[in-house]
Amino acid sequence: MIRSDIRAYINIGAFVLVLLFNFLSNAIPFNGLTQGDLSELYPVLITPATYVFSIWGLIYLFLLAFIIYQAIPAFREHPLVKAVGILFAVSSLFNIIWLFVWHYQKIGWSMIVMLLILATLITIYLRIGAVTAEKTIYDRIIVKYTFSLYLGWITAATIVNFNAMLYNIGWLGIGTGGVIFTILMIIIASLVALAVFYLRQDYIFAAVFVWALIGIGVRHASGPVVLTVFSWLAAAAILFFLGWIVARQKNGYSRI
């Protein structure tokens, strides 16, 4: 088993590296292509408006809080910190690899690596959920909410990456067929958000999908408008479901 201090340093190093490579990927940029350039090369309809990607700033802010928290000697043996372990560093390594395969347009490989990131974050999420020790508000915000936010966004990003892969191999266009397929993807994304919320009562995870769905609608406000309608209806449905659960809990119900 890795010593707690070494584990803390590994996670710190991984966080610094993932920030550095994300910066360099656009500053250099890798393969002469920025993220904006790549979005134009793979104009899948499920991609939300550009402003939606600002969520990365919030994700990295929360991850910074976690990195500081897990490095403080008093918290290195905390059950939640131990639950995360070096899996955060593993996810960061996959994140860096994804940047290279994505920028060098190895779209099939980017999908595989994205699934590895997703699998690692799901493992972290389940391990955190399995911790039975009493959690303070700081524990919930710095550890639980951080990885709910991160997992939510990577789940949404995996759907986008899947669509980009289909576009790359010529199985998905941006015409009528593409619109119908995108509506299907919106429905699936909404069901994923609702399922996780129902099983885990995770408002953060569900809120990430609401953010993404609203952004998809904003992007298509000038056409095809049907995607705006479906995206915003899906976002509204998630919000309605969340509100319904809260109302039932206040009335003494713990679950539907």
If you average pLDDT over residues 131-160, what whole number do you get?
95
The domain spans of the chain are 4-26+39-250
pLDDT at 35 over 70: yes
Convert 208-224 to b/e letters by CB count within 10 Å (16 or more is b).
bbbbbbbbbbbbbeeeb
Listed in order, strand segments (DSSP E) in 54-200 are: none
pLDDT of residue 157: 97
The torsion defined by the Cα of 127, 194, 162 and 226, in degrees rounded to 10, comes to -160
**Each residue's pLDDT tens digit, 146-191:** 999 999 999 999 999 999 999 999 999 989 999 999 999 999 999 9
d(CA 125, CA 100): 26
pLDDT of residue 1: 74
Helix (H) or strand (E) holding 144: none
d(CA 239, CA 206): 8
